[in-house]
Structure 1
Amino acid sequence: MSPTPQERRAARHQLGTGPDAPAARRGPSGGRKKPITVDAIIASAFGIVEAEGYEALTMRRVAAALETGPSSLYAHVVNKEDLDELLIGRLCAEIELPEPDPDRWRQQITGVCTQLRDQYLRYPGISRAAFASAPSNLDTLRVGEGMLAILLAGGIAPQTAAWAIDSLMLYVGAYSLEVSLANRRLARSDEEWVVGRDELLRRFAALPDTFPNSKRYAAELTAGTLHDRFDFTLGLMLDGLG
């Protein structure tokens, strides 16, 4: 008897995402189409997110891209949440983790967070897939393990390090989602909602006098690039650790 999708998922979590038996194609064109595999599903899902954004990703949409029905996907993937975990795991697999260095722990943890940010930004909105879930994918857990090792090497207490990783991951995901949303609006020429710094300064200058600080410090409020602010916020968070 073939393994169930749940058994396939459990095997992936124990051994990593390895090759799986392709699902057989049915119908007269079955022999001419590429077989359905976990890798094929993941690749199609990434293609949809890259072209249309994460909000467009559904199991039915992936099935259509593979020219099959949703039931063919469920032979390999339990549900949309399982697919989400596979996607985040595949991105995490590409992150390089340094050998923990007590003298460079701040730079090292910042480097890991920056890599994760850049991975998320490759696929608009995909960081949503990492929210509200306890990871069990080995590639995702590997990143958490590496971050924990870096913080512990830096002398951070275990409980503090554990919660810090959660906070850092949450910030990286939220930052990446906001940037992705802004970029999608820019791509649609939605200038009413995404404006440049000059327009922001004009709007601050036009505020009534009941906003004295906002008017006076408008330059500071609008200064820096998005990634400048990302680095600043990570620095604030790490300053709180020691």
Structure 2
Amino acid sequence: MNKTINDLWQARQFIKSSIRNEFVTRVVRSRLGLVWIVIYPLAQVAIYAFVLSALMTAKLPGLQTAYAYPIYLTSGIMAWTLFSEVVGRCLNVFIENSNLLKKMAFPRLALPAIVTGSAMLNNTLLFLSVLLIFAILGHTPTLSLLWLPILTLLLLMLALGLGLALGLLNVFFRDVGQLVSIALQFGFWLTPIVYTLDLFPPTYQKMLHINPMTGIVQGYQAVLVFGRTPDWQILIYPALFAIMALSLAVFLYSRAIDEVVDVL
């Protein structure tokens, strides 16, 4: 493990330049540039808010604003966008870079590191846009915002663990990619992003907490929407799940990475 970390450190310039080149290429090739990074998640907010705002605003009595539901939606979608981007891109990262894997000698973990760094850069730009929109809507986050980096780190651990493990399996079993795409769609609706948990009886609320993203998204909502410290009790399970996912990813990587290039 120490050798792997050292190899990644030695390849840090390669990782940084790859993230920078990917970002620049994405911006240069599009007339709208940076706008596309934030427009899709914000379009989701607009659609759901238009359809459900009248119904859901009454379920958010803690917010003294007419834009309570769009603010609630935005916080959850911001978390989900980062999670789904890391998992989705790690899923195909070895397949898409098969030529690079065969022609260059570099730490294989640099590829998911580049994906994670790029997703984090995009999410940071989205976050800054969200803060601007919140200010326009008259909603000012409190000092509880300082807890957000910890929540984001937990989210990245979960996403990277699942994404790397599934990405390795996808090299050998291509059906994994199709199944994960479907699972992410179900996962979105099984996470309290569009709705609040108190719409359901306690039994169903417990079932929804089986999804590790539920606690993380609720943490985002606590910080960004309600201006309070996250409930750390509901984050214990996501933290344990993230550790197990990372452990599984490390195990699969150590066993399968040498065969990945041959299979590709």
TM-score range, shorter chain: 0.3 to 0.5
TM-score (norm 1): 0.39
More helix by share: 2
